[in-house]
Amino acid sequence: MLIQDNLILTRSNPSGQGGTQFLYRVKDYGLTALSGPQEEISMIHWEVEIIKFTSQKTAEFEVCHSTELADKTLKFYTDKSLNEFLQKAFQYFEELDTLEKMLPQES
């Protein structure tokens, strides 16, 4: 099982292709972890997107390929490896939020 820290939503794959999606959020950033169906069950894996939320109150977000974490969809083949990544990513999102707030705001 994936860790539950910062987990804000568990839902069926919204694309309708089956499987389960987990949404994690730390401040304005987060990530989605999707485990979809595979004809060969041993090939089941996690597809992870770094995301940036567009609303404070809802689970609306956009895929974000402009952080240092990832410029593409990431793949993880075990829960253990993804959990390790999640822990590091949560720290990164905290720091990113702090750094962004230090930047001068565009008028």
Partner 1 sequence: MANVKGAAVNRTAVDEGKPADWIPGTERQTVVDPMEMFHKLPREKQFITGSEAARESMRRANIDIAIAYPITPQSESMQQAGYLYDEGYIKEYYRAEEEIGTFSAISGASRAGVRSLTATSGPGLMRGMEAISSWPGARTPIIMLNMCRVINTPLAIQPDNIEMSFMLNTGMILLHAENQQDFYDYPLAAIMASEQVDVTLPACVSTDGFFVTHARGPVLITPEEFKLPPRDGWRSAVPAMDNENPPARISRDAPIQKSNFISYHMHSSWQQEVFAAVHRSAKYFRKYLGGLIEVVNPGAEEFIIASGCAVSQAREAVRQEGEQGRTVGLIKIKTIRPFPIAEIVEAIQGVKRILVPEFNQAGWLHKELCAVLYGKSTAVIKDGPRVYGGMTMPTEMVLEALADFRKEVP
Q: Report yes or no: 67 and 96 within 8 Å, Cβ to Cβ.
A: yes
Provide the minimum distance between the beta carbon of 20 and partner 1 in the complex, in angstroms, as a whole number: 5
Q: Pick one of 5, 60, 84, 94: the residue that binds partner 1 (CB under 8 A).
A: 60
| Greatest alpha-carbon span in the chain | 53
Q: Which is nearer to partner 1, 67 or 79 (CB)?
A: 79
78 scored as a contact of partner 1 (CB under 8 A) = no
Specify burial of residue 33 (Cβ count, 10 A radius: 0-12, 13-18, 19+): buried
Please identify, among the stretches 57-65, 67-75, 80-88, 99-107, the one whose residues bind partner 1 according to the rule CB under 8 A. Answer: 57-65
